[in-house]
Structure 1
Amino acid sequence: MSLWCHWGVPDSDTGAPPRVVLVTATVLAVALAVAVAVFALTQRSSSDAAGPLPLVPVPAPAAGSPACTTLLGAVPTELTSNGTSLKVRELAAPAPPATVAWGTDDPLVLRCGLNRPPELTPTAALRLVNGVQWLQVPGEGASTWYVVDREVYAALTVPDSAGTGPLQTISDTVAAKLPAKPLKF
């Protein structure tokens, strides 16, 4: 009697199933597990994207100002980032005042009427983008860009994976709707 199994022929000594059956069953089990995991991830992402975006409120004493009303009334319903169109996202209740967000996975968030950022000092490095002075405050996985030369402070939080398009578009909107003012330190 033979102690090894020929391809597809049961081992008469042990009564074990043929090797081809074991390999096929293993491959099918792994493929099924992968398919279930991909389906679960896809469904979770779809349901997260479809639902309102919860945001933590931050102090925004000038959120009800005419300047914030003007700015938020003029922002586009879509932004383009790295060639991808990001649509305005519904905010979960209670939504922070004077706030709008775009995108699903790593949303961009614009807030208006904020307090002066503490990082704004006479020696802070500012960037001029399409006629608007911005202060970049890097964070973990995203940067927050503060408009610092208008009558209200606004902040655009942008994921590190985003392109420069959203900052340029929001700069154009700010420049068109809010007149420049001298910096306040």
Structure 2
Amino acid sequence: MAVMIAVIAVAGCSSSDDSATAAVPSPDTAVAALCRNLDRALPAEVDGAGRSDPEPASPLTAGWGNPAIILRCGVVRPPKMADPKVAEGRDPDAVAGGVNGVDWLQEKQDGGHRFTTANRSAYVEVTVPEQRDSASVLVDLAPAVKKAIPEGIAD
């Protein structure tokens, strides 16, 4: 399962047209409805970059800029979210924290970071390339996440 999650989380550029791509999650009906609400609430700009959604088009994915900031809603819970080392601050590659009322798990990745919401009714994953300001990205996305994804524990 962890290998599958890593493969699903990959976002990149296609060789033919330089468009960002992202695997579309397949959440249950209730989570998909929350994700559609989030899609309608997302900002037009994140970290100063205009919205440019990845392929294939889906209300469960969004993107901004180049290199692309990629958001995927309805992903499965990351394994590190249940790791006691993360909660205790002993994992060098993952940190839990909050930005403007939204809790996130931050995981280092080659070329940037992956953030996944915690304590929300759906998991929202945001991949931020190292060239982007992660703090600015999370500040820009917090109002939409708070509006569309209620506090709670996702399944």
What TM-score, normalized to structure 2?
A: 0.72
Larger Rg: 1
Structure with more of its chain in strand, by fraction? 2
- The Cα of 1:162 is off from its aligned counterpart by 1.2
- Residue of structure 2 equivalent to 1:86: 49
1:68 aligns with 2:29: no
Letter paired with 1:78: E
1:130-145 map, 5 Å: 130-145=100-115
Cα contact 1:52–1:89 (8 A) shared by 2: no
- The Cα of 1:96 is off from its aligned counterpart by 5.3
Give the unaligned 5+ runs of structure 2: 1-13, 87-94
Q: Pairwise CA RMSD of aligned residues?
A: 2.4
Higher relative contact order (CA 8 A, sep 6+): 2
Cα contact 1:112–1:155 (8 A) shared by 2: yes
- The Cα of 1:175 is off from its aligned counterpart by 1.5
- Residue of structure 2 equivalent to 1:148: 118
- Residue of structure 2 equivalent to 1:111: 72
Cα contact 2:41–2:148 (8 A) shared by 1: yes
Runs of 4+ in 1 over 6 A off after TM superposition: none
- The Cα of 1:176 is off from its aligned counterpart by 2.5
Identity across matched positions, percent: 29
Give the unaligned 5+ runs of structure 1: 1-47
- Residue of structure 1 equivalent to 2:63: 101
What TM-score, normalized to structure 1?
A: 0.61
- Residue of structure 2 equivalent to 1:167: 138
Whole-Å separation in 2 of the counterparts to 1:180 and 1:52: 36
Whole-Å separation in 2 of the counterparts to 1:56 and 1:182: 25
Secondary structure of 1:114's match?
A: coil
Note closer, same or farther for the CA distance 1:79–1:54 as it changes in structure 2 (3 Å cut).
Answer: closer
